[in-house]
């Protein structure tokens, strides 16, 4: 990319232009053999970055969703055991299952719009960590390339086109954890065939085991390289589980429930995901192009019971949320590299994105997964189109800017079993963005960012006239909710072997409107504002030792002054990673998950939690390695997540407001044997 300063080398410029170049053999040495890749001259904000394959492999992750915690300031939690999509926290948001965190895997969106259980549902259980080449992340609405769900942050996960070696691994762990993986990338007909098959079983520490069963596979054929070539990929994932949802604190304190007990033993679910996608790229001296297309079929059957016997003392309050959808889309970008002498250069990018979701979902009262009554059934067709133009200019060695504008239009078409809740709606938004980067020194950059973004609301809320349960009149929600962000940032590498980034931001939303899938209705919230500061530091004092430290604090308020339930206030991580120490490697990671207000007046709060995970690896010989992972080393009795609401147990005469929590899993070990050839 010509507008970049010439550091650290021309390969970095090529790397910035190609989001999955981790399989390029030369650049792979930069990512794997060296320290963390420098973002000076590349990133347009202090909060953007890239995490390479080696750093991701060094992390201890209890479940695939925790891989996203490589993004500084992000917490991935779980309130329902295994199989269900994670709960995410970032920049003062309780992002539920993915709203305002745009997640992409190999050019395919993971967030599911107008989902039966939650807007932006983000299930990454189909990820195979060994195939991930890199994770690119950024926060805030500061790029015209980003669209729906990206206001708090976005994460783009890219699989490599080829593996350095064939891989076979087996993992055995406590609580019935079993995993086997076989992956490789042989040459075939002038290209590369990447394949992977994964099988996983996990019972968990629960009184009634999760019995999570995952079968996962992918197949990719590629030719050329990631920046000049093409690939076609097929993926298939199936998972089933018993849910271990949050339980009331009062029942644990009076001894009627254990910490790892459940209440409704028939809660659970199963999920399926099948996809076919293709990516084509061409990169030259004066221009580069990218075209990608995908078709994804997602299916989910989810059975939950959060209030137990409050609404139906006889049958209980279990409900089902089936969701069936086919998502198809097309993305295209073209960039012109404009040279204006040695001191000045520009990139001008135009792009377009089309997406269509054909959705069938519903909400039903159930008992032991047997349907009793129908709350609603809907067929939704949600179609969106977006175009953008973005220009990046290097004015001098020390100054560059990025300016862009994006236009999006959404069409919502809902056919409901209740005629009054059927209809069509449209919404359009124009989103400008601007970034200024000033580099007074070769080792230091300052950033000024401003931009508009949005998240879409559930299509059902845009046309609904009545609450399907109570038949009370509803105020229709807008299709798109605007966000406005601004940020000041600093990135420096002035100290040897150290990379430091600091950012101060503000993010406003016109409304916290969300669709509440558990109730089958739309809830309107106040406009909101979040102000926060983030600090990220990476230090490699020795060739074999690296230190990561990230900390973030956010103040989240509704515009009427109320607290926002679940809004995380502070998070932090400290990690020590050892490698190149003969045959030994290892890591320790301390994670702090700060307190949250659980209701608007802040009279009930969650407790902070601190957990310590670690791993140690030993290379037996060139092609054989043993690795031991340990989770919750201190065996802390803390909550993974907390809520505050009313529920009623079978023995209770009336509902009671209480904290409902899901415990962190106790200390556990996993041993992995990996063979490469």
Instruction: Return the percentage of the chain with pLDDT > 70, whole number.
Output: 93
* Contact in structure between 102 and 156 (CB atoms under 8 Å): no
In a domain, 296, yes or no: yes
CATH number (domain holding residue 56):
2.40.170.20
In a domain, 16, yes or no: no
Residue numbers of the domain that contains 489: 44-676
Task: State the Cα–Cα distance between residues 572 and 579, nearest whole angstrom.
Answer: 23
In a domain, 1, yes or no: no
379 or 8: which leads in pLDDT: 379
Task: State the Cα–Cα distance between residues 669 and 614, nearest whole angstrom.
Answer: 10
In a domain, 110, yes or no: yes
Please enumerate, as own/partner, the contacts of 338-345 that have beta carbons within 8 Å and a separation of 24 or more. Answer: 338/2, 339/2, 339/286, 343/396, 343/397, 344/393, 344/394, 344/395, 344/396, 345/2, 345/3, 345/393, 345/394
Q: How confident is the model at residue 12 (pLDDT cuts 50, 70, 90)?
A: very low
What pLDDT is stored for residue 523 in this prediction? 66
Q: How confident is the model at residue 518 (pLDDT cuts 50, 70, 90)?
A: low
CA 16, 22, 28, 30 dihedral sign is positive
Q: What is the pLDDT of residues 39-56, one digit of tens each?
A: 898 899 999 999 988 888
In a domain, 18, yes or no: no
Q: How many Å from the N-terminal Cα to the C-terminal Cα in the chain?
A: 36
Q: What is the pTM of this model?
A: 0.91
Decide if pLDDT at 13 tops 50.
no
In a domain, 15, yes or no: no
15 or 97: which leads in pLDDT: 97
Q: What is the pLDDT of residues 621-667, one digit of tens each?
A: 999 999 999 999 999 999 999 999 999 999 999 999 999 999 999 99
Provide the domain count of the chain: 1
DSSP secondary structure letter of residue 473: B
In a domain, 289, yes or no: yes
Exposed (0-12), middle (13-18) or buried (19+): which is 600, by Cβ within 10 Å?
middle
Q: Residue 292: which of 348, 358, 232, 234 has the closest Cα?
A: 232
Distance of CA 597 to the CA centre of its chain: 23
Instruction: Order across the sheet with 247-248: list the strands.
Output: 247-248, 656-663, 639-647
What pLDDT is stored for residue 513 in this prediction? 67
Q: Around 268, how many Cα atoms within 13 Å sit in the side-chain half-sphere?
A: 16
SS3 160: coil
Q: What is the pLDDT of residues 362-401, one digit of tens each?
A: 999 999 999 999 999 999 999 999 999 999 999 998 999 9
């Amino acid at each position: 990319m010509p507008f970049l300063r010439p550091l650290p080398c021309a390969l970095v410029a090529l790397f910035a232009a190609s989001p999955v170049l981790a399989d390029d053999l030369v650049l792979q040495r930069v990512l794997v053999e060296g320290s963390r890749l420098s973002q000076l001259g590349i990133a347009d904000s202090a909060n953007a970055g890239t995490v390479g394959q080696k750093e991701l492999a060094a992390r201890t992750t209890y479940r695939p969703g925790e891989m996203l915690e490589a993004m500084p300031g992000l917490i991935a939690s779980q309130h329902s055991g295994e199989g269900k999509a994670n709960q995410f926290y970032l920049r003062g948001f309780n992002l539920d299952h993915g709203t305002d965190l745009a997640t992409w895997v190999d050019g395919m969106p993971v967030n599911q719009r107008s989902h039966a259980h939650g807007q932006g549902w983000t299930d990454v259980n189909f990820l195979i960590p060994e195939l991930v080449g890199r994770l690119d992340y950024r926060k805030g609405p500061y790029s015209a390339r980003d669209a729906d769900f990206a206001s708090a942050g976005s994460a783009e996960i890219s699989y490599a086109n080829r593996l350095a070696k064939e891989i076979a691994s087996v993992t055995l762990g406590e609580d019935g954890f079993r995993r086997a993986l076989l992956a490789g990338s042989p040459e075939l007909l002038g290209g590369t065939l990447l394949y992977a098959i994964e099988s996983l079983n996990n019972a968990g520490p629960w009184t009634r085991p999760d019995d999570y069963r995952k079968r996962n596979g992918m197949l990719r054929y590629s030719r050329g390289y990631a920046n000049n070539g093409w690939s076609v990929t097929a993926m298939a994932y199936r998972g089933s589980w018993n849910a271990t949802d949050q339980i009331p604190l009062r029942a644990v304190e009076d001894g009627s429930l254990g910490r790892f007990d459940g209440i409704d033993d028939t809660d659970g679910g199963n999920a399926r995901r099948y996809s076919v996608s293709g990516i084509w790229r061409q990169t030259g001296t004066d221009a580069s192009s990218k075209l990608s297309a995908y078709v994804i079929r997602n299916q989910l059957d989810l059975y939950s019971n959060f209030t137990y016997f409050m609404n139906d003392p006889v049958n209980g309050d279990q409900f089902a949320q089936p969701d069936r959808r086919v998502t198809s889309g097309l993305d295209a970008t073209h960039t012109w590299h404009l040279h204006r002498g040695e001191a000045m250069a520009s990139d001008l990018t135009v792009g377009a994105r089309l997406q269509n979701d054909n959705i069938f979902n519903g909400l039903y009262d159930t008992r032991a997964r047997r349907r009793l009554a129908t709350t609603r059934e809907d067929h939704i067709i949600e179609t969106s189109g977006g175009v953008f133009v973005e220009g990046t200019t290097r004015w001098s060695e020390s100054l560059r800017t990025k300016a862009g504008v994006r236009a999006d239009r959404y069409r919502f078409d809902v056919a409901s079993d209740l005629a009054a809740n059927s209809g069509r709606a449209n919404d359009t938004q124009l989103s400008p963005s601007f970034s200024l980067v000033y580099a007074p020194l070769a080792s230091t950059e300052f950033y000024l960012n401003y931009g508009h973004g949005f998240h879409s609301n559930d299509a059902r809320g845009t046309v609904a006239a009545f609450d399907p349960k109570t038949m009370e009149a509803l105020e229709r929600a807008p299709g798109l909710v605007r966000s406005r962000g601004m940020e000041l940032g600093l990135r420096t590498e002035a100290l040897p072997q150290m990379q430091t980034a600091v950012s101060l931001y503000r993010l406003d939303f016109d409304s916290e409107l969300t669709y509440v899938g558990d109730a089958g209705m739309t809830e309107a919230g106040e406009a909101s504002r979040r102000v926060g500061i983030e600090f990220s530091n990476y230090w490699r004092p020795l060739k074999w030792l690296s230190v990561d430290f990230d900390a973030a604090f956010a103040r989240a308020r509704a515009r009427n002054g109320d607290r926002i339930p679940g809004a995380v206030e502070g998070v932090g991580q400290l990690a020590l990673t050892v490698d190149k120490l003969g045959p030994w490697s290892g890591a320790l990671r301390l994670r702090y998950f700060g307190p949250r207000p659980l209701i608007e007046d802040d009279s009930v709060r969650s407790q902070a939690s601190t957990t310590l995970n670690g791993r140690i690896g030993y290379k037996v010989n060139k092609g054989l390695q043993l690795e031991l992972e340990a989770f919750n080393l201190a065996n802390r009795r803390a909550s993974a997540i907390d809520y505050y609401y009313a529920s009623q147990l079978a023995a209770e005469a009336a509902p009671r407001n209480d904290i409902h929590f899901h415990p962190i899993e106790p200390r556990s070990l996993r041993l992995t044997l990996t063979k490469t050839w």
